[in-house]
Chain A
Amino acid sequence: MSGRDQILAGIRRSLNRGALDEATVATLRGGLAAPRRNLIPARATILDAEGRAALFRSMAEEVAATVEPIATLDAVPAAVADYLARLNLPPTVVAAPDPQLAAIPWDKRPLLTVRQGRVEDADPVAVTACFAGIAETGTLMLLSGPESPTRNNFLPDTHIVVMRKSQIVGTYEEAWTKLRARHGAGNWTMPRTVNFITGPSRTADIEQRVELGAHGPRRLHIILVEDGDGASQG
Chain B
Amino acid sequence: MLPQSHAFKSGARIALGNQPLQKALGFMKTTGFPAKRLAAVQRLPEFEALREEGRTIKDRTLKHLDFYLETFEANVIATGGHVHWCRTAAEACETILKICRALDAKTVTKGKSMVAEEIALNEYLEKHGITPVETDLGEYIIQLRHEPPSHIIAPAIHLVKEQVAETFRAAHTDRDPDRPLNDGRILCDEARAELRQKFLAADVGITGANFLIAETGSSIIVTNEGNGDLTQTLTKAHIVVASLEKVVPTLEDASTILRLLARSATGQEFSTYTTVSTGPRRAEDTDGPGEYHVVLLDNGRTSMLGTEFQDMLRCIRCGACMNHCPVYQSVGGHAYGWVYPGPMGSVLTPTLVGIQEAGHLPNASTFCGKCESVCPMKIPLPKMMRHWREAEFARDLSPAVARRGLAVWAFLAKHPTLYRMLASAAIRLLALAGGRRGRFRTLPLAGGWTSVRDMPVPEGRTFHSLWASGKGRGTR
Contact = CB atoms under 8 A, between A and B. Distances in A.
Contacts of B218: 190
6 closest residue pairs by CB, A with B:
A216-B226, A214-B225, A205-B138, A14-B305, A35-B250, A4-B85
Contacts of B160: 207
Given A39-B256, A208-B28, A213-B192, A28 B67 contact: yes
Interface of B: 24, 27-28, 31-33, 44-46, 49-50, 53, 57, 63-71, 79, 85-87, 91, 135-138, 141, 154-157, 159-161, 164, 184-185, 187-189, 191-192, 195-196, 199-200, 214-216, 218, 224-227, 229-230, 233-234, 244, 249-253, 255-256, 258-259, 266, 268-282, 284-288, 296, 298, 302-307
B291 to A, nearest CB: 12
A214 B214 contact: no
A86 interface: no
A215 B278 contact: no
Contact of B227 (A15, A39, A176, A215): A215
A173 interface: yes
B266 A176 contact: no
Which of B24, B135, B251 is the most central at the interface, judged by chain A CB atoms within 10 Å of its CB? B251
A14 B302 contact: yes
Given A8-B69, A192-B288, A194-B276, A15 B225 contact: no
A32 interface: yes
B65 A11 contact: yes
B266 A204 contact: yes
19 contacts: A7-B85, A10-B302, A25-B67, A28-B68, A39-B46, A63-B272, A144-B287, A145-B282, A149-B285, A189-B79, A191-B282, A192-B278, A203-B137, A206-B141, A206-B161, A213-B192, A214-B226, A215-B230, A216-B230
B249 A150 contact: no
Contacts of B85: 2-4, 7
A118 B286 contact: yes
B277 A3 contact: no
Given A195-B274, A205-B157, A216-B226, 4 more contacts: A11-B305, A154-B229, A198-B268, A202-B225
A144 B252 contact: no
Interface string A195-234: 1111111111111110101111100000000000000000
B334 to A, nearest CB: 16
B278 A201 contact: no
B271 to A, nearest CB: 7
B200 to A, nearest CB: 6
B307 A195 contact: no
A38 interface: yes
A115 to B, nearest CB: 14
B87 A146 contact: no
Interface in A137-190: 137-139, 144-146, 149-151, 153-155, 171-173, 176, 189-190
Contacts of B192: 213-215
Interface of A: 2-4, 6-8, 10-12, 14-16, 19-20, 24-25, 28-29, 31-32, 35-39, 41-43, 59, 62-63, 117-118, 121, 137-139, 144-146, 149-151, 153-155, 171-173, 176, 189-209, 211, 213-217
B249 A32 contact: yes
A14 B304 CA distance: 8
B119 to A, nearest CB: 14
Nearest to B300: A10
Given A196-B274, A201-B224, A216-B226, A41 B44 contact: yes
Nearest to A32: B215
A15 B63 contact: yes
A15 B69 CA distance: 15
Contacts of B79: 189-190
A8 B66 CA distance: 6
A92 B57 CA distance: 48
A203 B285 contact: no
Given A213-B192, A214-B226, A149 B286 contact: yes
Contact of B229 (A11, A59, A202, A216): A216
A137 B272 CA distance: 10
A199 B91 CA distance: 39
A201 B215 contact: no
A190 B270 CA distance: 22
A50 B224 CA distance: 29
Contact of A10 (B67, B137, B298): B298
Contacts of A214: 137, 188, 191-192, 224-227
B270 A198 contact: yes
Contact of A39 (B49, B159, B191, B280): B49
Nearest to B216: A190
A192 B275 contact: no
